[in-house]
């Protein structure tokens, strides 16, 4: 079972709409959750982190975490063409078994978002 | 400026010629990691280091070596590169392993012919 799964996309929304990106994870013990944005050929850039259940808002971005259902989502309000990028979900893994997964961060494969004018 | 730097940014080499990609961070982070990114496969972890002299394998360690002799540096070594190691490589660092955000370097695009 993959550690972190994202809706594969691509996702296409018109300018001004809400873009919704979803991510599920397998390890119930995970405590740290991150959303990164990556433009083509560039490095991932952190846009949101969330550590407790509920919503966290930062400007046009809202991260939502539901640990019981093991999913984390990212909403982008008033989407702009400059938001067009691949969005990566990352989840930490606190399994303590040897294999040294303690504290590792696992990334989903990303969802490509296109915002058209 | 807080940052992760990588060198070189672009490299074209031939099969079997040893190479090193350097990574350095100036944030006093304990945790450092190397990833490779290939189309359709996402970010895959190669090696990571929890602290100086502590390194461990990620998901795709074959064909790579690392060392962590100093806290700020975490070089990636390809002893005998092969064409299947052609990829985009990222170094990242974090204050605490897995529990805080990772900061990424600008990437190294490697082509092995």
| Tens digits of residue pLDDT in B64-97 | 999 999 999 999 999 999 999 999 999 999 887 6
Do A48 and A56 meet the contact criterion of CB atoms below 8 Å apart? Answer: yes
Strands (E), B29-71: 31-38, 42-51, 54-57, 65-66
Across B36-63, average pLDDT: 91
pLDDT digits (tens, 9 = 90+) for A26-52: 888 888 899 999 999 899 999 999 999
Q: Where are the beta strands (DSSP E) in chain A?
A: 4-6, 11-14, 19-25, 33-38, 45-50, 54-58, 61-66, 71-76, 85-93, 104-107, 111-116
The reported pLDDT for the residue numbered B111 is 97
Task: Report CB contact under 8 Å: B96, A103.
Answer: yes
Return phi, psi of residue B85, to 5°: -100, 5
Q: Which of A49, A34, A30, A53 is nearest to A102 (CA)?
A: A30
Residue A10: is the preceding peptide bond cis (ω within 30°)? yes
- What's the gap in Å between the CA of B106 and the closest CA on chain A? 5
Which pLDDT does position B96 carry in this prediction? Answer: 76
Q: Which of the residues B98, B105, B109 would you substitute to probe the A interface, choosing the one with the greatest number of A C-beta atoms within 10 Å?
A: B98
C-alpha distances (whole Å) from A108 to each of A24, A88, A89, A114, B78 are 9, 6, 5, 18, 26
Long-range pairs for A46-52 at CB < 8 Å and ≥24 separation?
A46/B101, A46/B102, A46/B103, A47/A74, A48/A74, A49/B100, A49/B101
Answer whether B39 touches A (CB < 8 Å): no
Q: Which tokens is B18 given?
A: 């040893």
User: In this predicted structure, what is the pLDDT of residue A97?
Assistant: 41
Q: How far is CA B80 from the centre of its chain?
A: 16
Contact B103, B94 (CB under 8 A): yes
Name the nearest CA neighbour of A104 among A8, A16, A34.
A34
Listed as ranges, residues in chain A with pLDDT below 50 are: 96-100
How far apart are the CA of A48 and the nearest CA of chain B, in angstroms? 9
Query: Would an 8 Å CB–CB cutoff place B63 in contact with chain A?
Result: no
């Amino acid at each position: 079972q993959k550690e972190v799964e994202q809706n594969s996309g691509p996702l296409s929304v018109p300018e001004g709409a809400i873009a919704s990106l979803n991510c599920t994870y397998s390890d119930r013990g995970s405590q740290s959750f991150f959303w990164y944005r990556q433009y083509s050929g560039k490095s991932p850039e952190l846009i949101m982190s969330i550590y407790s259940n509920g919503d966290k808002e930062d400007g046009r971005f809202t991260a939502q975490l539901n640990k019981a259902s093991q999913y984390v989502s990212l909403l982008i309000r008033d989407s702009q063409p400059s938001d067009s990028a691949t969005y990566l979900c990352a989840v930490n893994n606190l399994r303590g078994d040897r294999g040294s997964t303690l504290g590792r961060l696992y990334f989903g494969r990303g969802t490509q978002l296109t915002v058209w004018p | 400026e807080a940052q992760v730097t990588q060198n070189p940014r672009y490299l074209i080499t031939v099969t079997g010629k040893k190479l090193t990609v350097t990574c350095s961070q100036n944030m006093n982070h304990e945790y450092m990691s190397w990833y490779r990114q290939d189309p359709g496969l996402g970010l895959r972890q190669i090696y990571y280091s929890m602290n100086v002299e502590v390194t461990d394998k990620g998901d795709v360690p074959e064909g790579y070596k690392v060392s962590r002799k100093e806290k700020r540096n975490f070089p990636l070594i390809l002893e005998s590169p092969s064409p299947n190691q052609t990829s985009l490589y990222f170094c990242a660092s974090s204050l605490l392993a897995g529990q805080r955000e990772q900061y990424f370097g600008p990437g190294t695009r490697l082509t092995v012919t």
